[in-house]
């Protein structure tokens, strides 16, 4: 199977659909957590347009789903841990 055929088969796989649903859910969850870091994410943009808008440190970024997930994880990893 050539590269393009393999890539298309991967995208059509039920596992990819499950991954996409999981990423969407995690982005929603991380977006709430990221508010503490003054990071605002337009989750509706990602779910409707396929790209998320993320406002961070006065700049607006436009990311695909995987990059949005990674960026939010990165922002949250930079935050100090609060122990109650």
- pLDDT tier at 1 (50, 70, 90 boundaries)? confident
Place of tokens 């930079």: 78
pTM, rounded to two decimals: 0.79
pLDDT digits (tens, 9 = 90+) for 30-48: 999 999 999 999 988 777 7
Q: Is the pLDDT of residue 81 over 70?
A: no
Q: What is the mean pLDDT of the chain?
A: 88
Asked whether the beta carbons of 18 and 24 are under 8 A apart, the reply is: no
Q: Domain limits of the chain? A: 16-78
């Amino acid at each position: 199977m050539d590269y393009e055929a393999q890539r298309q088969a991967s995208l059509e796989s039920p596992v990819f659909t499950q991954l996409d649903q999981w990423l969407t859910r995690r982005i929603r969850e991380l977006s709430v957590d990221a508010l503490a870091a003054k990071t605002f994410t337009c989750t509706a943009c990602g779910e409707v347009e396929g790209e998320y808008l993320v406002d961070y440190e006065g700049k607006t970024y436009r990311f695909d789903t995987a990059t949005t997930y990674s960026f939010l994880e990165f922002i949250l990893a930079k935050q100090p841990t609060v122990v109650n």
